[in-house]
Amino acid sequence: MKFGFSYVGLIWYVLLLIPNLIWTKHKPKDYEEYVVKENKILLALERTGQFIITPVAIFFSDFNYKGWHFWSIVLLVSFLCMVLYELFWIRYFRSEKTMKDFYSSYWGIPLAGATLPVVAFFLLGIYGGNILMLMGSVILGVGHIGIHLQHRNEVYGPKVKKKRKLPQRILFGTFKVVATLLLIVICGAFMFFIACRNINQFKHAIAYKDGVNDQIYVQLNDQEEYISIIGKSTENPVIISLHGGPGSPTTYIDYCWQDYLTDKYTVISWDERGCGRTYYRNMDIDSDNLTLSFEQQVEDLDALVNYACERFDQEQVIILGHSYGTMLGSRYALAYPEKVSAYIGVGQCVNERDYYGETYSYQDALIQAMAMGDDTTEMEAAYEKFSTDKSIANLLQLRSYVSQYHPQTVTKDISAMAALTSPIAGVDDIRWYMVQMGATMGDTRYEELVEKPLGQYMMDFNALEYNDNYQMPVLLLSGSCDWICPVGLVKEYAQCITAPNVEVNLIEGCGHSPQGQLPKEFADRIKAFLEK
């Protein structure tokens, strides 16, 4: 939730207010006779709802237009409800202005004068992700619709039920119950996740009020790129977190583990060039990611390090990479040792030449399967298919067979909940995630945008041949059950490098992303290493 003027909320409020002001001089005949019968509880709820939504609609900028995207459909439907609301009033003002005119259905919508604005403001709350608007709309709806339903029944009498045969009654009744429950579940889910998101926003606002809590775009070479910065003190050392993929930004969910570090460190997450919010920010000038390359990302990272050092008055930063981010992070730490005080590789990529890590995992799973006497025909076929066509869909199919022989004892993962309740998740995060999901179903857009530009470097990457010499302490932190970047290769890499201090630290039972499985333990391991 963000304080600020909402012109959209003001428009909705004006559309609500004007016909009601006119109505005060054109009330239905005998309306006052019905007012004295209004239920006091419903009246109190109506007033409470009005009291909530009026300031919220105007003084939270969440509802303002954010450009066209799929959530804009919610805003559009909300606006259409307000348009229908105005048309309802026009019809009423042109009528005889009787109670029956006031409560007759409009376009098949019962109690249109009461239901349409309530629905409009509820949808506005969903669009803006504002739980106060949602709660206010629900309270208003119970009171406002309840009062006018009471009046309608007084005017028209109880609704006469159509006589239907027993099978029809069962079918219609079942449909009505299912539709009602489905509507309650959907609306309830929206309210729950939006409430959790608002609570997290509130917590961050308090936790980082004396530090930094920024989600901004910064100029990194020729592009503006998206970063999130959180920390309780701007004087703390800086950690720059590099996501994996390539092209799989996690900036909007990283708070789930970074919050455990921010008492002692300022943490920067970054949507790297060519993906996520950074891609959409620069889509007009580089829609095909023609500027994307591994070397360019290293240059961007250097520009980000310079920005962080200048802003927070630091001489060095700590580089933390995950998966593909360890390629980027390790090469940067080796190329610019004077700017890096420590390097942390989470799920360290070691030998990615021709997807050797996948072959390593597959061979181990094959040995286990044969030892158990299992039929390996399908797994071998999946490997052959992947060897011929290294698409994401084929990769995931192979992993589905291999993972059966590499179970994780830690099965929980809070990443999905962290995404749904993220205090900073935005439309562009969801848009990019859908691009990634499309790749699993055969869509080639993700491959064209990210994998092809970075694929050649990745396919030639074999750190075991590089004799890496780090000038700073190195932590290689993995889940003990990580078979995407196999722990065996990580241990082998630790034996091949030189550094002031090299530590291999395994979080028992976790897989490739321990930060999403045991976030506090993950952060504690990092703190313990950095404080030595």
The more confident residue out of 390 and 428 is 428
Beta strands at 238-242 and 502-507: parallel, antiparallel or unpaired? unpaired
Distance CA 344, CA 267 (A): 13
Does 161 score more than 70 pLDDT?
no
Q: Comparing 152-166, 251-265, 478-492, which segment has the lowest mean pLDDT? A: 152-166
Under a CB-based contact definition with an 8 Å cutoff, are residues 29 and 84 in contact? no
The pair phi, psi for residue 419, each rounded to 5°, is -70, -45
Under a CB-based contact definition with an 8 Å cutoff, are residues 309 and 316 in contact? yes
Distance CA 476, CA 485 (A): 12
Under a CB-based contact definition with an 8 Å cutoff, are residues 237 and 341 in contact? yes
In the chain, % helix, strand, coil (3-state, to 5) comes to 55, 10, 30
Distance CA 453, CA 470 (A): 27
Q: pLDDT tens across 193-244, in order?
A: 999 999 999 999 999 999 999 999 999 999 999 999 999 999 999 999 999 9
Q: pLDDT tens across 58-89, in order?
A: 999 999 998 877 788 999 999 999 999 999 99
pLDDT mean over 406-411? 91
Q: Comparing 152-166, 202-216, 244-258, 293-307, which segment has the lowest mean pLDDT? A: 152-166
The more confident residue out of 427 and 310 is 310
Q: How many CB atoms lie within 10 A of CB 385?
A: 15
- Give the model's confidence band at 159: pLDDT under 50 very low, under 70 low, under 90 confident, else very high: low
- What are the tokens at 22? 């006119």
